[in-house]
Amino acid sequence: MSIITKMLRMDGVYWPPQGSDDNGQPVWGNPVALKVRWEASAVEFINPDGRAEMSKALVYVSADVEVGGVLWLAVTPTVANGAPPPLQQIAPSKQPYDNPDAAEVRRFDKLPDLKCRRFLRTAYIGISGVAHAPGGRRISGT
């Protein structure tokens, strides 16, 4: 087992971006349980638009995620085999922003190990400047 695998001890939920609805509001796919390591840290990074932003967390994830998706650190019971518990036990809501502290992925990096067999996947959770109401609706003016 590599150090990359050993460090992913927390449970997280990821909602992939699926575009927007007729009103321009974001739409997300079905939630996916991931093993993560969530580090609350302010790190300056360059977003895909080339602008500098500050992260509110770095999240190491067990699978690829997309910019614009939503990650949430779940508080879950421990499972003996190390697999994430069923989603019904993790996320109280299927809408990402109904879950406290869910945040948008602002950048994603993927670095291979020396043998190119495993990858260190890092998601930068930024403060996007867009607030969300329950249900994922964007609130203007924030």
Q: Are 13 and 74 in contact (CB under 8 A)?
A: yes
Tens-place pLDDT, residues 54-85: 999 999 999 999 999 999 998 665 555 556 55
Query: Domain limits of the chain?
Result: 3-139
Q: Are 131 and 102 in contact (CB under 8 A)?
A: no
Mean pLDDT of 5-16: 89
Tens-place pLDDT, residues 89-128: 555 567 888 887 889 999 999 999 888 888 999 999 987 5
Q: How far apart are CA 77 and CA 106, in angstroms?
A: 28
pLDDT of residue 113: 86
CATH code given to domain 3-139? 2.40.10
Tens-place pLDDT, residues 117-128: 889 999 999 875
Count how many Cα atoms sit within 13 Å of the Cα of residue 12 in the half-sphere of its side chain: 27
pLDDT of residue 129: 45
